[in-house]
Chains A and B, each alone.
Chain A
Amino acid sequence: MRTVSTPTEVEEKPETTEKEPSGSSIAFTATLVLLVGLALFGRRLFNGWFTDDGIRTWATMFVGVTVQALPFLVLGVLLSAALTAFVPASFFAKALPKHPALAVPVASASGVVLPGCECASVPVSAALMNRGVTPAAAIAFLLSAPAINPVVLASTAVAFPGQPKVVVARAVTSLAVSMILGWLWLLTGKGGSWLKMPKNRHAHDDSKFDVFRSAMLHDFLHAGGFLVVGAAAAATLNVVVPRAWLDHVAGNLLLSVLILGLLAVLLAICSEADAFVAASLSQFSLTARLAFMVVGPIVDVKLIALQTGTFGPKFAVRFAPATFVVAILTSLLVGWWLL
């Protein structure tokens, strides 16, 4: 691995793709020239443009959220492409109960097996729908996977030492929320018209490896673009919203649960780390912090952007508020019961 400065590193890599002579060579050449030009002269060209402290803090937040999320997104599209290409649809038909209402809890519980944060679970659940899993079950999986996997529960236990009830409450609440939303989806019955079903784009004559490659390429480009939108939103809110207003609401239970829920939406912290942030919000009650940890992995600005891209805006505009409301109510209930 070379350890040279940014411009040289980036400038040399594109040569590998230059073998392609046909098709849109103009767009390709223009993009290549633009990128290499930026890599070589960008800093000199824009010298004095981005010097404002606020803009630089924003840029750090934006790049930080993107850099943190991209490896998990790559893991997610890798898994989802593998599901699409190598696991036959009949496997899921056998593994999940026939009746959709029974498939929901099974899918929720199987969220335990995907260790990763929420960015990984969006492409994976799209791949599940693609493989014929009923959308209600895929949604239950989408919601439970980032919240109840072993990595997240272990980090919660570390963040709240000597308080195993917090870990239990988190697992119980997240599981309950994912099942409730799966069943709600079945009850409304018109999910089909809201959901832009991820379509199976691949001709049947392609080899499995080609399907894998195409699926991964497509999913990464698509989700990656929307991730950038989400990261920009999270960075903006991080810079604009003053944290001081938190202290004024800590005393009121209902208000504090709502506010910490909203904070989880705005900050878009990855689910493997949100427990530590929750632990540091010590002026709040445990129930409010539980709401923070339950809402964070299932609805935040970055996820809303990703879901809009993957499942369509009609879906996202209904799903995000419904998830938020159910998560807040369930947190209140479980907090009252367990904490």
Chain B
Amino acid sequence: MKRNVAGLVIVFVGAAMVQLATSGVYLRYVKPGMRWMLLAAGVVLIALAVTDVVVRSRQTHDHGLPRAAWLLLIPVFALLVVDPPALGADAAQRQSPVAAKPAKPVDPQGNAYWGDESHGPKPMTVRDYSVWAVWEKETMQGRSFQLTGFVTPAKNGVWYVTRIGLTCCVADGTAFMVEARGQAAPAKNQWITVTGKWAEPTKRVDGDVAALTVETVKPVAAPANPYE
């Protein structure tokens, strides 16, 4: 690869990283904490390419640069053209809806969470609900909850309120799924807020799946950070 073309490729890669970090689109792919790393790396790359152009005018000898560098244009192409969405129902359908047994169940929002009985359905993350509904049945029984997630349809009219959990980036995205009973499935990938009562988990060969008897379904806009 010629050196000036290499500079161009690096500027585009750097600009793409800066654009991801400043626009918030990066939240589709990585954790919020990566923002400053992305921004810094993008700026370093742009600075590298620009200095190279400025300083090189003094130099005569030119080395060939690795041809592998052309491959860097593939992710740039993917971002510009495909515009990959955040992980959704398709990724969730590839996983089992069964919630793994937690090492040690953590109280969702401190001790006060369960004490307060007054104001209707309790908001809970899909991640917590999918674990608690299966492994802490006694606490959950008879209570109402409010969950926000997207719709993952399955066979025979079954559908799940779903959130994807990230630990690092989308490569390790884990789907947390709650079977929604008593209401027809909204469109695939539609973001919704549901309220309803805890229901007995569904038995499957690989384990139990959390369930909720849904009373209300309200379509909502996708949150800025789609992951939990």
Chain A interface residue count: which class?
Answer: 35 or more
B49-85 residues with Cβ-Cβ distance < 8 A to A are 49-57, 59, 61-63, 65-85
Q: How far is the CB of A259 from chain B (nearest CB, A)?
A: 16
Q: Does A217 belong to the interface (CB within 8 Å)?
A: yes
- Within 8 Å CB of B80, what residues of A? 6-7, 10, 38-39, 42-43
| Residue in A62, A217, A270 whose beta carbon sits within 8 Å of that of B65 in the complex | A217
Q: Does B48 belong to the interface (CB within 8 Å)?
A: yes
Knowing A6-B19, A269-B172 are in contact, say whether A239-B94 is a contact too (CB < 8 A): yes
Q: Does B171 belong to the interface (CB within 8 Å)?
A: yes
Q: How far is the CB of A313 from chain B (nearest CB, A)?
A: 13
**In the complex the two chains form, is A225's CB within 8 Å of B72's CB?**
yes
Overall SS of chain B's interface? helix
**In the complex the two chains form, is B8's CB within 8 Å of A217's CB?**
no
**In the complex the two chains form, is A221's CB within 8 Å of B169's CB?**
no
Instruction: Give the docked Cα–Cα distance between A72 and B179 (Å).
Output: 39
Q: Does B141 belong to the interface (CB within 8 Å)?
A: no
| Residue in B8, B69, B88 whose beta carbon sits within 8 Å of that of A35 in the complex | B8
Knowing A20-B53, A64-B171 are in contact, say whether A282-B100 is a contact too (CB < 8 A): yes
Instruction: Give the docked Cα–Cα distance between A225 and B19 (Å).
Output: 21
Knowing A234-B171, A242-B94 are in contact, say whether A201-B63 is a contact too (CB < 8 A): yes
Knowing A63-B79, A218-B66 are in contact, say whether A56-B38 is a contact too (CB < 8 A): no
| Residue in B30, B67, B94 whose beta carbon sits within 8 Å of that of A64 in the complex | B30
**In the complex the two chains form, is A247's CB within 8 Å of B22's CB?**
no
- Within 8 Å CB of B214, what residues of A? none
- Within 8 Å CB of B168, what residues of A? 68, 269-270, 272-274, 276-277
**In the complex the two chains form, is A38's CB within 8 Å of B77's CB?**
yes
**In the complex the two chains form, is A71's CB within 8 Å of B34's CB?**
yes
Contact with B along A65-105 (1 / 0, CB 8 A): 11110111011001000000000000000000000000000
Contact with A along B25-58 (1 / 0, CB 8 A): 0101110001001111100111011111111110
Q: How far is the CB of B1 from chain A (nearest CB, A)?
A: 7
Q: Which residue of B lies closest to A275 (CB)?
A: B167
Q: Which residue of B lies closest to A68 (CB)?
A: B169
**In the complex the two chains form, is A78's CB within 8 Å of B44's CB?**
yes
Chain B interface residue count: which class?
Answer: 35 or more
Most A-side CB within 10 Å, residue of B11, B13, B72, B171: B171
**In the complex the two chains form, is B26's CB within 8 Å of A67's CB?**
yes
- Within 8 Å CB of B103, what residues of A? 160-161, 279, 282
B153-203 residues with Cβ-Cβ distance < 8 A to A are 167-172, 174
- Within 8 Å CB of B69, what residues of A? 221-222, 224-225
**In the complex the two chains form, is A231's CB within 8 Å of B75's CB?**
yes
- Within 8 Å CB of B216, what residues of A? none
Q: Can you give 10 contacting A-B residue pairs, CB < 8 Å? A: A14-B12, A28-B2, A60-B28, A68-B30, A218-B65, A221-B72, A228-B71, A228-B72, A235-B171, A270-B168
